[in-house]
Amino acid sequence: MTSPPGWHPDPVPPQPGQPAQLRYWDGTRWTEHVAPAQQPAYPSYPAYPAAGAAYDGRPTTPDGVPLAGWWWRVLALVIDGLLLGMVSAVLAFPWARDVYDSYRDVFDEAFNGDSASLDSSELQGDIAVPLAIITLINVAVGFVYNVGFLMWKQATPGKLLLGLRVRLRERPGPMTLGTVLLRWAGQYGVGLLGLLPVAGCLTFVYTVLDYLWPLWDDHNQAIHDKIAKTNVVRIR
């Protein structure tokens, strides 16, 4: 079969009494994804538009699933950020307390008029290790949270709450670990370069462009979506 990717009549004959159904062809092979012939795989929409068309003026994936708008993605990001912040704060509390105690000692000495004993290099030495541990905790929690949920549910909790999913642009179904890791690297891994003095400004510019990119992109993709060839879609 040389047809483009999309939904086609299932080549497997239906069982007696079973209604006809569609099966998704990814361009090279038949997948395991099926849908009723008279209904879409996503029942909240009455029919699949033609490949590359839009539903009610909104852009879609090639097989007709509506893409998530920019504001929905931002809201999901805010929800995920709040959840991640709470988890990271609990795990990093002992080291955050050490940083707080170091700064408190410095301010106490300043208020007591003992400015001669203040030593910024000593303060930096006291907080260097706790700050490094806090950074590692934030990175590890964010990695497990994003990669784990995308592999398990194809969405983070913020996206699940809003009815959003992440999928390959050209076909439905779960993503491979390689795709999820590539997407994470394009979205968050690049941010680790911001820890380097010279790369900090470039990383900031990239991050801003990455989050704003769906506003003018024809496929509503951020830069990290383009890297991993994914889309964020709305299923309800």
Q: Per residue in 117-131, pLDDT tens? A: 556 677 777 788 999
CA torsion sign, 103 to 84 to 229 to 65?
negative
pLDDT at 114 over 50: yes
pLDDT at 43 over 50: no
First to last CA, the chain: 32
Summarize the confidence of residues 82-106 as an average pLDDT. Answer: 91
pLDDT at 215 over 80: yes
pLDDT bin (cut points 50, 70, 90) of residue 1 is: low
31 sits in which H/E element: strand 30-36
Summarize the confidence of residues 69-88 as an average pLDDT. Answer: 97
pLDDT at 223 over 90: yes
**What pLDDT was estimated at residue 57?**
63
pLDDT at 140 over 70: yes
How high does pLDDT run on average in the chain? 84
Structure tokens at 103: 């700064």
Structure tokens at 8: 């086609």
8 Å CB contact between 147 and 5: no
Summarize the confidence of residues 131-144 as an average pLDDT. Answer: 95
Cα–Cα–Cα angle for 164, 42, 11, nearest 5°? Answer: 130
Every domain of the chain and the residues it spans: 70-234
Cα–Cα–Cα angle for 122, 124, 128, nearest 5°? Answer: 125
8 Å CB contact between 233 and 165: yes
pTM here is: 0.72
pLDDT at 211 over 60: yes
**What pLDDT was estimated at residue 230?**
97
Summarize the confidence of residues 145-163 as an average pLDDT. Answer: 96
pLDDT at 2 over 70: no
**What pLDDT was estimated at residue 48?**
46
**What pLDDT was estimated at residue 5?**
74
Q: Report pLDDT digits (tens) over 30-42.
A: 777 777 776 444 4
Q: What are phi and psi of 75, to 5 degrees?
A: -60, -40
